[in-house]
Structure 1
C-alpha cells in the first residue's frame, strides 16, 4: 500500500525536471494533494507538513516504460502462458507485476497487449486506489491478421472493414491506445519476424479509427516493408523497428513517428535462452535479429529519431523491473545519458499521450517523482540506486528520512 496524499516537500535536490534536460542544484519540490504545486530554489521553499531531505541526490520524474505486458511474467514461452492462464490467473500476474514495476521507480507504463481486458481493468483499479501500481495506458487485445503475430492475445481481422470493427471493439472496451501488428514476430510459432502482415490500406484504416477517437497507435514492426507501410499509414510509434534504415529514419522524423527499440526483447532471449528453457524456435529467431536491433538503434540515435524507452517486459526472461538495464544498454550503444533520461520521462509521456499529466516535474503535473543516489547524467548506472518512489503524490517507498512538523499529518512509508 502507498501513503495517502498530503502536502510535503522534497528539498536539496539536484533537479532533473525533464523539461529541458538540465540539472538545477539546490532545488525543492512542493507536493500538494497529488500534484506538483511549486518548484524552485531551496531558499524560497514554502512550508509543508513533511519534509524529505534529498541530500543533494538527483530528483527526477518517475520513469515511463513504453512497452510492457503486465499479464505476463517472463515465462519462457509467452504464448503458452497466455493460452493456459485463466482470466483470473492473468489478473493476479498483472497485479504482482504492477507492484514490481512501481517498486522499480516506473510510475507509468504502456501495456502493449493482453488476451482480454485484465490490464485495462487493472489500470482502473490502480486509478481508484484498489491496488498499488503505475499509471497504466493499456491497448487491450492487439489487432492482427488471421494467424498473425500475437494472434493468441489478439483480435484477428482481415480487410479494411474488419480492422475498423476490431479497433472500434477495443476502444469500446476502454483501450487507451491501439496496438497493431504490421509484421511477423519472434514469439509466434510459424511466423517469420520480417514478413509483412497488414497491408497499408488496413493500417491506414486502423490509424483513422484510433485517431478519430483521440487514441494513438503503436505498431509492432520488424521487417522493412511492414515498417514503411506503418509509417506511411500514419502510426504514432514503431515498436522494435529492427529493419529501419536511413530512408525510413528520414520518413519517420518528417512525420514525428516514435521508435520504442526494446533492446531487451531479443537480448534477454539470446542471453538466457539456452539455459532458460525458451523453445529453440524462439531462440533461433531472436538470434537472427539481435545484432540488427543494436545496429539499427545506433543508426537511429545518429539520425535523431524520436525515441521512447521500453523493454517489452513480460516476454521470455524479460523482467518488469528491467527498464534501467535497458537504459544502460541505450547509453552503451550511443545515446547520451541526457537523451536516455528524457526517453524514459518526457518522451515516454509524450509517446503514451500523457504529456499533460506526467513526464516532467512542473507545477500542475502529477507528482510522479523518484530520487536517485548518484548522478545518472554522469553515470547512467546510478539509476540502479533509486531510493525514493512517489506516484500521484503518494510516497510508495523511501529510504530517506521524513521529517514532520507538529501540525502535519504523519507520512507513512510502507515498502
Structure 2
C-alpha cells in the first residue's frame, strides 16, 4: 500500500524554499512523487497527516562515535570494557540518534570494528538504528591522537586507534581497515583535545604517511576524513587527497583557500568543544584548556569558509564529553551563534551537503522522486525558532515510521 504524507510546510532540501500544503507519496521504501496536496489522490493509500508540522529529509550527522556515550568518563571504558560491552552501548546510542531525526550517520572511529558489526546488524534488520557509514579503527601515530599513554609494560590492544608509523605502516593500516569492512579511512592528522599529552595544533601524520594511506582509499573508491585542528596538519591532509577535514578549529587563511580550491569538505563539530568548555569544572583541566583554545577563533574561521565557498557538512562528534547521542541537534543553534549560518544553509548542511560528502546523494539527502523515504518532522518551523531542531517529533527511515 502506498503512503501519502500530507505536509503543512515542506523543506525538500533540493533548494532553500519552504513549500506549503504539499504531499509526499511513498511506495515501499522510496519516494515516488512530491506534489501539491490538493493534486494527490489518496484513495487506497495510508495517509500520514503532518499538516501541522515542518517536514524535511532525514538528518545526516557526518561525524559521531556510536561506541561512546558522552559521559565524563566515557573514554576510560576502553580500559575495562570488552567488544561486547561496546556493541551493546553502540546499539543504544545509534537508536537515540535515529529518534533525534538522524536517519544516516558516519561513525568516525570505533573500538574493535564494533561499528562495522552494528552497521551490518542494522542493514539486516536485527536492530534499530540509522543507516551507517563506518570507519572501523581510525589510523593514528605513536603518541598521537587515538594512541594510549599507558605504562609501556602494558601490552595488547590498549586503544581504539590502529597505530602506525611511516608510509609503509600507514599503507598497511589502511588496507587492514578496509579488509575488515570499513567504508572509509579515518586519519588522526593532528593532536586532539580529549587525548593526553599531545597538542591539537601539532601535526601527527606526515604528508608522506597520509599520502600512502589515502592512495589506498582513493584507488579503491573510498572517501576519507582527517581529524585535524592545526593548520599544518590540515594542509598536509588536503595535499594528500583527503575528502573531509574534521573540526579544523585552528586553521589559517591558507587552509581555507586550499579547501575551497580542492573541494575539500569541512565538518565543524562546534558542539564538541563547546560542551567541554561549558562543563569544564568536571573535566580534565588539560582537555578544557585545549578546547578553549580550539573554540576561540572557530566562529570567525567558519564565516571566512562560508565566504570562500568551502563546502560545510553537518557533524557533531556525538559521544564526546557531555555531547550525548540524541541531543546533538543543538549544533544547529551553535552554527548560527558561531558561524552566522542562515537557517536554510544549516539545514542543507545536514541533508544535501552531507549526502554529497558521503557520496550517498543518489539515495538520501533530499525529498524527491527516486530517493529513499527518509523523512523527519518538527512541530515548529526552524525558520521561526532554530531550537525546534532539538525536538524531532516524527521519524521515517526507508518508508518505516519509527517515531510519531
> How high is the TM-score relative to the length of structure 1?
0.91
Cα deviation, 1:351-390, whole Å, max 9, x if unaligned, reads: 2221111111111111110011122134322323422110
Whether the 8 Å contact between 1:30 and 1:46 is mirrored in structure 2 is no
Cross-structure match for 1:278:
283
User: Alpha carbons of 1:39 and 1:353: their partners in 2 closer, same or farther (altered >3 Å)?
Assistant: same
Q: Secondary structure at the residue paired with 2:79?
A: helix
Displacement after TM superposition at 1:12 (Å): 3.5
Cross-structure match for 1:156:
163
Displacement after TM superposition at 1:153 (Å): 1.2
Cross-structure match for 2:64:
68
Q: Secondary structure at the residue paired with 1:66?
A: strand
2:403 aligned with 1:397, yes or no?
yes
Whether the 8 Å contact between 2:374 and 2:398 is mirrored in structure 1 is yes
Find the aligned partners of 1:308 and 1:83 in 2 and give their Cα distance.
33
Q: Secondary structure at the residue paired with 2:297?
A: helix
Find the aligned partners of 1:12 and 1:196 in 2 and give their Cα distance.
49
2:308 aligned with 1:313, yes or no?
no
User: Which of 161, 168, 175 pairs up with 2:175?
Assistant: 168
Cross-structure match for 1:405:
none
User: Alpha carbons of 1:111 and 1:12: their partners in 2 closer, same or farther (altered >3 Å)?
Assistant: closer
Cross-structure match for 2:155:
none
> How high is the TM-score relative to the length of structure 2?
0.94
Cross-structure match for 1:413:
none
Find the aligned partners of 1:141 and 1:249 in 2 and give their Cα distance.
28
Find the aligned partners of 1:9 and 1:390 in 2 and give their Cα distance.
12
2:113 aligned with 1:108, yes or no?
no
Q: Secondary structure at the residue paired with 1:108?
A: strand
2:251 aligned with 1:244, yes or no?
yes
Find the aligned partners of 1:121 and 1:353 in 2 and give their Cα distance.
21
Cross-structure match for 2:189:
182
Displacement after TM superposition at 1:215 (Å): 0.8
Mapping of residues 121-140 of structure 1, within 5 Å = 121-140=117-136
Q: Secondary structure at the residue paired with 1:382?
A: helix
Whether the 8 Å contact between 2:62 and 2:106 is mirrored in structure 1 is yes
Whether the 8 Å contact between 1:311 and 1:322 is mirrored in structure 2 is no
Displacement after TM superposition at 1:237 (Å): 0.3
With 121-130 and 373-382 compared, the bigger mean Cα shift is at 373-382
2:339 aligned with 1:346, yes or no?
no
Mapping of residues 256-275 of structure 1, within 5 Å = 256-274=263-281
Instruction: Specify every segment of 5 or more residues in structure 2 that has no aligned partner in the other structure, as ranges.
Output: 148-158
Whether the 8 Å contact between 1:356 and 1:365 is mirrored in structure 2 is yes
2:303 aligned with 1:303, yes or no?
no
User: Alpha carbons of 1:101 and 1:12: their partners in 2 closer, same or farther (altered >3 Å)?
Assistant: closer
Find the aligned partners of 1:37 and 1:13 in 2 and give their Cα distance.
19
User: Which of 24, 28, 32 pairs up with 2:23?
Assistant: 28
2:329 aligned with 1:324, yes or no?
yes
User: Which of 117, 139, 142 pairs up with 1:143?
Assistant: 139
Cα deviation, 1:314-363, whole Å, max 9, x if unaligned, reads: 01111112332001110223011111000001111112221111111111
Find the aligned partners of 1:155 and 1:44 in 2 and give their Cα distance.
55
Find the aligned partners of 2:69 and 2:391 in 1 and give their Cα distance.
23
Find the aligned partners of 1:331 and 1:322 in 2 and give their Cα distance.
17
Q: Secondary structure at the residue paired with 1:110?
A: strand
Displacement after TM superposition at 1:162 (Å): 1.2
Whether the 8 Å contact between 2:2 and 2:26 is mirrored in structure 1 is yes
Find the aligned partners of 2:70 and 2:86 in 1 and give their Cα distance.
13
Displacement after TM superposition at 1:303 (Å): 2.7
Find the aligned partners of 2:357 and 2:78 in 1 and give their Cα distance.
27
Find the aligned partners of 2:179 and 2:77 in 1 and give their Cα distance.
26
Find the aligned partners of 1:389 and 1:156 in 2 and give their Cα distance.
39
Whether the 8 Å contact between 1:26 and 1:56 is mirrored in structure 2 is no
What is the aligned residue count? 391
Cross-structure match for 1:89:
85
Find the aligned partners of 1:385 and 1:225 in 2 and give their Cα distance.
39
Cross-structure match for 1:403:
none
Displacement after TM superposition at 1:141 (Å): 0.4
Q: Secondary structure at the residue paired with 1:53?
A: strand
Q: Secondary structure at the residue paired with 1:204?
A: helix
Find the aligned partners of 1:82 and 1:358 in 2 and give their Cα distance.
34
With 237-246 and 51-60 compared, the bigger mean Cα shift is at 51-60
